[in-house]
Structure 1
Amino acid sequence: MKNISLIEGKAVLWFVLICILLCTNLILAKKSVIPAAKIKAGLSLRKENLHQVQIKKITGTVTDNQGQLPGVTVFIKGKSVTVITDFDGKYVIDASSTDTLVFSFMGYKTIEVPVNGNTTINMRLQEDATALQEVKVNAGYYSVKESERTGSIARITSKDIERQPVTNVLASMQGRMAGVDIIQDGGTAGGGFQIKIRGRNSIRADGNEPLFVIDGVPYSSESIGSPGTSTAMASQMSPLNSINPADIESIEVLKDADATAIYGSRGANGVVLISTKKGKAGKTKFSISATTGVGTATRFVALMNTDQYLAMRRQGYANDGVPFGATAYDVNGTWDQSRSTNWQKELLGGSALIQNIQASVSGGSSTTNYLLSGNYRTEGTVLPADFRYNKGAVHYSMNHVSDNSKFRIQFGANYTTQDNLQAATDLTLTAKYLAPNAPALYDADGRINWENNTFDNPIATLQGIFCSKTNDLVSNLQLSYQLGGGFEVKTNFGFTDLQQSENRILPSTIYNPAYAVGSDNSVLYMNNTKRKSWIIEPQLRWQRDFGKSSLDVLIGGTKQQQTTERLFQSGIGFTNNSLITNFASATTKNILNSDTFLYRYYAYFGRLNYIYDEKYIVNVTGRKDGSSRFGPGRQFATFGAVGAAWIFSKESFVSENSFLSYGKFRMSYGITGNDQIGDYQFYDTYAATGANYQGITGLQPTRLYNADFGWETNRKLEGAIETGFFKDQIFLTASYYSNRSSDQLVGIPMPATTGFSSLTSNLDATVQNNGFEFTLRTVNFSKGNFNWSTNFTYSASRNTLLSFPGLAGSTSATRYVIGQPLDIAKLYHLTGVNSNSGVYEFEDVTGDGLISIADKQTLVDLSPKFFGGLQNQFQYKNWQLDFLIQFVKKQAYDYISNVPGGTPYNQSTNLTDAWQKVGDQSLHQLNTAGLNSMATVAYNRYAESDAVVTDGSYVRLKNVYLSYDLPLKMLKEVNCKLFVQGQNILTFTPYRGGDPEFRFSGFLPPLRVISGGMTLTF
């Protein structure tokens, strides 16, 4: 309780601080705004003397889908009369009834409207896809026009993110970015995601995470919590859940060397830049959005019904030649053999209620603006229990520029608190294994049904709980000053503070009372994680134009420190289950793991960008990194890249009237590094032996010192062409890349005589990723009130292990093959079912007459062959429709039980075709009640054979968004939008093992979410 009070106290302190800052900004904004009486709604730049027609004042308001638009140019066609909309999007212009008004704003379609005697003309502008080449793209330490970038950068904006009912930022990126492969780890709220940018570079599974940067502050994506507490999830909790998707303005993913090399060792696996929303000048604007939705499981496995199951069980006993056992309650008549329950629907088929509310206030003057937003989200569960996931977030942003525009200050803070209560044990595997004629969960009195102690009721396990509380702060401050002469000095400051506590509580009441398990067997697992980091990055920038030449030079430095503390404990035995949350009450207390990690990082970086004649571009970046994770003498390394682009559409041989409106070739090559190996890996380390000698616990060495422990290096090459046709109505990008990662940080096998199995070191192994990426953006129709545009992405890649010295004699020989991908599986080859014995048979590759691990020579590539997405956006008057179709081509493991058919576990309907008698030609071996050891061994080999690999490809209606802007004639200052949205709506796949995206059959798959809501802006 003391910890909770402390957390609440911090939350209150932050809230008070934010309120003080907001009030200060409001006062500053009020003082800096010119009184309304002294300002006209529009600024007339020039007026012509019109004598022959009657001139009237035309007034109106210009808006977009988000609200009023200040700064829009409104002019009379063919005349030099121009005004600019004010902070509220309002304008006043003098025009005649025969004039035509033109509304123009960068990034939006230019619209012409005849006056026709009207005195009020309100206009709503639509985004112009053909103007996207002028959009500034965030490249980390600098921004660049889309048309002038030399690197490979994928981007989505808030308009894509806010249309999805998701809680993790990675979910909003799925299927929308070429080269970015994202897989959800499970449907349990708070779970994680896997992300790979252009394939797997490191042999180590934990060495392929990209760098995440939030408003210039690096954010660790390393999973929090412990595998010992979050066992009900397919993966540990993701810290990225702390980022509220509604607060994000844009996400840029840096992929090639030119884009990532400026981040040095941290950019080997790509960089994900997250920019949060900022305030805008104008009157105070309020916005509130509320949604309510329902989440359900996407797909279930086709399992046997009662008749099929009982037939399988009877065959098993008949094949073993034994009568039904006394404990074979499902088949010996103890349980009702006419009863049939679909346990997947019973245990996982519920509806998770999902509610979300988001509110914000923003505004300010031309020199000071602010944004304050808050979010609260709650998610239920599909399990038959009262579990929930609650998340609250506060986001604040303040920007100020001096009157002479030389000094700028930007401050931002995001504070998130999460309270997650879930089942300690996932029931997904239980729902697949349970006999379809198993008894009801509850008896006639509503109590847990143990069916006379013949039934281990799965509902009782839901009394075991997993609870997690996470509080996360990410803050940033940026100061800059224009020195004159093209020089600008800037400094970024960042601070993050994450604190998490999670418990796994297993009371004795989860067991059948007949077992007489008392509270002295109740168990409490506790894990506490604290992670703090700070960063300082001073920078100096110089820009200068020389005739046709433009030069942009940036130099800077980085100093970062991160401290992580983890404490994992267990308590066993309590006098009463009511005391189980009190660790001090445990009879036996164990410290299972206690670690403190300190990570220090230093760097110097620079960038030189040269543009000649607006069509020849060279970009050179470099960084010298220092990391505390490596041994003395190996802590520093230098990385760099060069990128070049030629905008050939500006050459004289391309006429202005050509159908080719834009064309660019670009190439890049560079070297980045990787230090994702964990802390203190090069040191001698020791662990307690657990043995006590004369009151002293002994220590034993666990790792050998290696002073030569150094960086992984990644060499990246890319070539691309970008072309626009018919004024960029069709825009195509095609790129080829080849990345080679060497000096792999792995465990090199050691002789047993050394006392160690391996030594963590740099292995001269090389991994290559090469592939093609293809993006297409088209404006299919844009006229009047109807607009239709399409975005298409396609990625195809190949991962190859080029070299691995000593592979044949290492422990990795059973996992990897030179010339093959890292994600292969080495499997037995199933040749069929022996028609005489009725058991599975496999190819004897070695020819020694035995089936052993050496015969696992069939290779199956489980990495995607290609993937992508097709997005369509429609707009008709006040209606908007947006949907995304995601597709993946891959192979995957089919669902099979861990035990052979005939045992008291339900099976896939595939196993109904089982061998029964000599001479049968069947796809599956005979059933056994568990006494046929030959069949059991064969089944275990079957589970590791190519027979269980199937087509896991799918096409999924990933996201749908439909909205309607409700016209409120009585409330002209209020914009009201009604919308419905969905995620994981519909899936087309030949895969029968459940959800084709999901990798873990024993955990809850991703949910289908459908929600509706309303947004008010005023």
Structure 2
Amino acid sequence: MNKFLNNQGSTLLKQLWLVGLLLICGALHGSPLTMWQQTQQPITGTVRDAQGVLPGVTVLIKGKTSGTLTDENGQFSITATATDILVFSYMGYKTMEVGVGNQTIFSITLEEDTTQLKEVVLNAGYYSVKDKERTGSISRITAKDIETQPVTNVLATMQGRMAGVSITQTSGVPGAGFDIQIRGRNSLRADGNSPLYIIDGMPLGTESLGNSSFLSGSILPGAGVNALSTLNPADIESIEVLKDADATAIYGSRGANGVVLITTKKAKSGKTTLTANVFSGVGQIARRLNLMNTEQYLAMRRQAFENDGIATYPTFAHDINGTWDQNRYTDWQKELIGNTSQHRQVDVGIQGGSEFTKLLLKMTNYQETSVFHGDFAYKKTAFQFSGNHRSADQKLQLDLSVQYVLDKNNLPGTDLTLDAINLAPNAPALYDADGNLNWENSTWNNPIRQNFEQYVAKTNFLNVGGSLSYQLLPNLEFRTMAGFSDTRLAESKISPSTLYDPAFGLDSSFSFLVRNAGYQQSWSLEPQLHWSTTYQNHTLSLLTGATFQERNFGTYALQATGFSSNSLIYNPSAANVIRILNNSNSVYKYNAVFGRMNYTFNERYILNLTGRRDGSSRFGPGKQFANFGAVGAAWLFSKEALVEKHLPWLSFGKLRSSYGTTGNDQIGDYQYLDTFSSNGLPYQGIIGLQPTRLFNPDFSWETNTKWEAALDLGFLNDRISVTAAYFKNKSGNQLVGIPLPGTTGFTSVQSNFPAEVENSGLELEWSSKNVNRANFSWSTSFNLTFPKNELVSFPDLEGSTFANQYILGEPLNIRMVYQYNGLDSETGLYTFEDFNGDGLIRANDDRKKVVDLTPEFFGGFQNTLTYHKWQLDFLFQFVKQTGPNFNNYKSMPGLSVNQSVDVLNEGQPFSAGFNTQATNAYSFYRNSDAAFGDASFIRLKNIALSYTLPTAKKWHCKLYLQGQNVLTFTNYRGLDPENYSGIRIPPLRVLTLGTQLTF
């Protein structure tokens, strides 16, 4: 017993000693449990949603600054203690908090939260704003919309996806440009309606560097040789379009026609990842004209000669007099523009970094051949670098983004579309038995001859944008944005003597070379101060800054002829004659100061004030500066207690409105000065100068006053979101050429004119999450715009040179034509309305019928469906409009030009050109309302089907099929209702198959 007590006592004594020691340590350093709980340990895990893993999820330790992001596999790693709480947050999902405890490996599933959709942060240029708090009108698309489209131009990715933004593709040739109008046409000048483009804070000049002497004016309409066309869509993270005064006024004069903000992709933290995206595909003309076959064509020709009273066919009528095989048939649309273009892209990127420093490096190579007869190709190689750094104390942040693009476009000198439509179906073969160009005994101009007239454009584009910000005080931040861009173009077109019939006997001395070199170099610097504070229910933020910008622009073009050999045609020094076509350089300088105040009360009443003072070198002394500003207000009425109580189904409701003024200085450089140019005529061995512009220092900015009222609604926890906006913009003080008497030696002088143009319209937007289940989801978005454009005032319009171009109360985009009244039953000729009743049809007196080419409405309808690992996206674009039809650009039926089979059923009179009355009548017919018709269409603009393979966690693979311009539903009489010129390649139908890998 004693031994037992002794042993127990010893044990008890040891335990008491240990407890005492622990108490002492606890008193000095904390309890042992606390010590264990405070031990740092690695925590790992995976974050996913109902569809799969989620990359880019923010993982923070609550109450601390440390955190990380999930990688492309949804995995994360962080160091924490047992008492820490992990916070998982991701846009569009409910934030989740999980205690660490004894667990070191986590599997987290986030639940989608549709109420957070309004938390999306929009880029407004100088500042960012949550979607729910914006007072201005901003439309947005992201990389997920862009990546589903096999296109080469940034603007193509926006078609049909934004209310109030009308975008038209000018041609289907590789590298062709686009026309864009944001809420209508404001300026009487065609070149005064372009929006401002900004890439990562750097304003982008979009003036064409091409030379008008090139026939590329027809092959590349819309100036395909500018920086915007060279930008790589695969490098873009998001595009925001600022539309109303509140959103654009902070850009002053530069935002008169809207602002397009382009943000490139940025690096993300996490382990180093490698991505590769490869696709290849084919493209073809989506629509073709139903033209006559040989039998129908010859029947038309015979009837035409009979109508003209010609019994014997002339010697030059090779198609019908037996010179050409009358049993021959060639589908010239298939032969000349019916090739299948090949599309291929390889996109490789690597990125990674810590929570403080991140880097991204990316390379894209794209190649596309043409649908023309011949070997032509468009190539683009793009490099992108992005880096950002944030200091450990979160005060200093550096961002840098660089894009460098090499662009080469090799095209025929002339678009062969019109030849493909016009050529007689029994015209000769293109090549003879020996494979040489067939001239058929000099009876025709072989269209393939124009392939010798090659056009090549090489463009180098560099854009650098960066920012530096430092938190001076808890509420005060200094930020500087700086940028530099440089675009270089070298284009050439050769016209060798081999493109002429050898029977003409022309040698290389008749060969031509046209060469042009253009450059555009810009820099921009914008220092800013941002201050914000919150007191109880009041939030106030202030922004002030300045802009310093300079742009240098120049082109140099020459024409060389008289070569001793065609092998020397690319060397101007080998020519006998060199003519300088253009040698111009200009400098544009722009300075401004700006400010913004944003005030929010009780998280529901928002006021936004913006002001800017602009200075432009494009105006004379005393006229260079102007003030612009705007006010925007919003009321989040869904947060009112009465609404929350009685309208529980209304999850979001906001009324907003804005009013303000912006300016416009898009008139080109040095317009207010006397200018001179070479007249090319030597006098005593010296080339003289001639005046080209009169001095006028008194004109100044165009002004654009904008007003908008809008209603934003969200239903059923924002599963349905609706926006309705009405806008009215008025542009005045128009910068146009004021007509002058011919005795002055000038036709006009640049000046302000008190004409006013008004754009108004209604924009409707809808987005909904129709189904949201674990294995199946379906979302829809829809936008619809009803635009109206009107010339509301123009003093003495009837007495001006614009009398036959504009009408008060009508849109700017009109055509004044003859009114077609049908065929005369006795003469069989076309008849027209005699408006002045003098018995004659005259251009000035009877060309009074107005055809409005402004769209009645336009929009898009997009859907996204996911099922397990499958995803389907498709977009329908639609436009209701009137446009020029087949009759607008076709020659008179009966001439040696093929026709649509429709003319056989319309009873149109045929003439071979020997009947003067018929010829004159058809001239009126081509300029009448019969040459215009319904150009409305519904187009399956884009479709993308993808499947994510069930692969290992360390790598992912997605297969996809994409289509662009897949189907078009229209009654339009012509090649394409979007590009209705009829003389250019229409937009192509493109189908691609690709693979996306992530390691």
What is the TM-score with the length of structure 1 in the denominator?
A: 0.90
Deviation for aligned residue 1:485: 4.1
SS at match of 1:379: strand
2:965 to 984, 989, 1009: 984
Deviation for aligned residue 1:671: 0.2
Distance 1:841 1:86, change over 3 A: closer
Distance 1:109 1:329, change over 3 A: farther
Q: Deviations over 1:370-405 (max 9, x none)?
A: 111110000001112110000000010110011111
Amino acid at match of 1:1003: R
1:522 counterpart = 2:523: no
Amino acid at match of 2:483: G
The answer to whether the Cα contact below 8 Å between 1:268 and 1:673 also exists between their aligned partners in 2 is: yes
Distance 1:92 1:682, change over 3 A: closer
The answer to whether the Cα contact below 8 Å between 2:68 and 2:270 also exists between their aligned partners in 1 is: no
SS at match of 1:171: helix
1:233 counterpart = 2:233: no
1:301 to 280, 285, 289: 289
Deviation for aligned residue 1:160: 0.2
Q: Residue in 2 aligned with 1:890?
A: 881
Aligned equivalents of 1:1007 and 1:125: distance in 2? 42
Q: Residue in 2 aligned with 1:26?
A: none
The answer to whether the Cα contact below 8 Å between 2:467 and 2:482 also exists between their aligned partners in 1 is: yes
Amino acid at match of 2:265: K
Q: Deviations over 1:570-607 (max 9, x none)?
A: 11121111111111111211011111011000000000
Q: Residue in 1 aligned with 2:824?
A: 834
Q: Residue in 2 aligned with 1:131?
A: 116
Aligned equivalents of 1:540 and 1:84: distance in 2? 29
Q: Residue in 2 aligned with 1:51?
A: none
Larger deviation, residues 432-441 vs 832-841 = 832-841
Deviation for aligned residue 1:443: 2.4
Q: Residue in 2 aligned with 1:932?
A: 915
Deviation for aligned residue 1:930: 1.4
Q: Structure 1 unaligned segments of length 5 or more: list them.
A: 1-37, 44-58, 76-81, 95-100, 915-921
Q: Residue in 2 aligned with 1:994?
A: 975
Aligned equivalents of 1:127 and 1:227: distance in 2? 55
Larger deviation, residues 330-339 vs 734-743 = 330-339
The answer to whether the Cα contact below 8 Å between 1:461 and 1:511 also exists between their aligned partners in 2 is: no
Q: Residue in 1 aligned with 2:833?
A: 843
Bigger Rg over Cα:
2
Q: Deviations over 1:102-157 (max 9, x none)?
A: 975332367999xxxx9988667687654221111000000001110000000000
SS at match of 1:753: helix
1:261 to 249, 267, 270: 249
Q: Residue in 1 aligned with 2:455?
A: 466
1:152 counterpart = 2:142: no
Aligned equivalents of 2:651 and 2:438: distance in 1? 72
Q: How does 1:574-723 map to 2 (within 5 A)?
A: 574-655=563-644, 658-723=648-713
The answer to whether the Cα contact below 8 Å between 2:823 and 2:830 also exists between their aligned partners in 1 is: yes
1:899 to 867, 891, 895: 891
Distance 1:543 1:127, change over 3 A: same
Distance 1:498 1:704, change over 3 A: same
Larger deviation, residues 329-338 vs 636-645 = 329-338
Deviation for aligned residue 1:206: 0.7
1:805 to 795, 804, 809: 795
The answer to whether the Cα contact below 8 Å between 2:58 and 2:67 also exists between their aligned partners in 1 is: no
Amino acid at match of 1:909: V
Identity across aligned pairs (percent)? 51
1:247 counterpart = 2:235: yes
Deviation for aligned residue 1:948: 1.2
Deviation for aligned residue 1:162: 0.6
Q: Deviations over 1:21-64 (max 9, x none)?
A: xxxxxxxxxxxxxxxxx975538xxxxxxxxxxxxxxx545488
Q: Residue in 2 aligned with 1:852?
A: 842
1:947 counterpart = 2:930: yes
Distance 1:267 1:119, change over 3 A: closer
Amino acid at match of 1:156: I
Residue-pair matches, total: 939
SS at match of 2:249: helix
Q: Residue in 1 aligned with 2:181?
A: 196
Aligned equivalents of 1:467 and 1:485: distance in 2? 56
2:777 to 787, 803, 811: 787
Distance 1:174 1:125, change over 3 A: farther
Deviation for aligned residue 1:83: 11
Aligned equivalents of 2:110 and 2:942: distance in 1? 25
Amino acid at match of 1:309: Y
Q: Residue in 1 aligned with 2:271?
A: 283
Q: Residue in 1 aligned with 2:944?
A: 961
Amino acid at match of 1:868: G
Q: Residue in 1 aligned with 2:5?
A: none
Deviation for aligned residue 1:560: 0.5
Aligned equivalents of 1:449 and 1:121: distance in 2? 75
Q: Residue in 2 aligned with 1:818?
A: 808
Amino acid at match of 1:976: C
1:334 counterpart = 2:323: yes
Aligned equivalents of 1:966 and 1:641: distance in 2? 51
1:68 to 52, 55, 72: 55
Q: Residue in 2 aligned with 1:878?
A: 869
Q: Structure 2 unaligned segments of length 5 or more: list them.
A: 1-38, 80-85
Distance 1:539 1:120, change over 3 A: closer
Amino acid at match of 1:945: S
Q: How does 1:567-578 map to 2 (within 5 A)?
A: 567-578=556-567
Amino acid at match of 1:406: K
The answer to whether the Cα contact below 8 Å between 1:70 and 1:282 also exists between their aligned partners in 2 is: no
SS at match of 1:939: helix
The answer to whether the Cα contact below 8 Å between 2:47 and 2:54 also exists between their aligned partners in 1 is: no
Q: Deviations over 1:797-831 (max 9, x none)?
A: 10000011121111110010000000011110011
Larger deviation, residues 999-1008 vs 949-958 = 999-1008
Deviation for aligned residue 1:225: 0.8
Q: Deviations over 1:383-434 (max 9, x none)?
A: 1211000000001011001111111111111000101111001100000000
Deviation for aligned residue 1:784: 1.3
Q: How does 1:30-179 map to 2 (within 5 A)?
A: 40-42=41-43, 59-60=45-46, 62=48, 68-72=55-59, 89-90=74-75, 105-108=90-93, 130-179=115-164
Aligned equivalents of 2:479 and 2:175: distance in 1? 37
Aligned equivalents of 1:91 and 1:983: distance in 2? 37
Distance 1:187 1:278, change over 3 A: same
Q: Deviations over 1:254-300 (max 9, x none)?
A: 00000000000000100000001111111101100000010101111
Deviation for aligned residue 1:950: 0.7
The answer to whether the Cα contact below 8 Å between 1:74 and 1:104 also exists between their aligned partners in 2 is: no
Amino acid at match of 2:172: G
Deviation for aligned residue 1:333: 1.1
Q: Deviations over 1:586-629 (max 9, x none)?
A: 12110111110110000000000000000000000010000000
SS at match of 2:667: coil
Aligned equivalents of 1:809 and 1:436: distance in 2? 49
Larger deviation, residues 582-591 vs 144-153 = 582-591
Q: Residue in 1 aligned with 2:904?
A: 912
Amino acid at match of 1:752: G
Deviation for aligned residue 1:639: 0.2
Aligned equivalents of 1:84 and 1:695: distance in 2? 75
Aligned equivalents of 1:505 and 1:594: distance in 2? 20
SS at match of 2:642: coil
SS at match of 1:529: strand
SS at match of 2:140: strand
Larger deviation, residues 875-884 vs 483-492 = 483-492
The answer to whether the Cα contact below 8 Å between 2:209 and 2:555 also exists between their aligned partners in 1 is: no
Aligned equivalents of 2:135 and 2:984: distance in 1? 43
Q: Residue in 2 aligned with 1:396?
A: 385
1:357 counterpart = 2:346: yes
Q: Residue in 2 aligned with 1:49?
A: none
1:490 counterpart = 2:502: no
Distance 1:586 1:235, change over 3 A: farther
Aligned equivalents of 2:752 and 2:77: distance in 1? 70
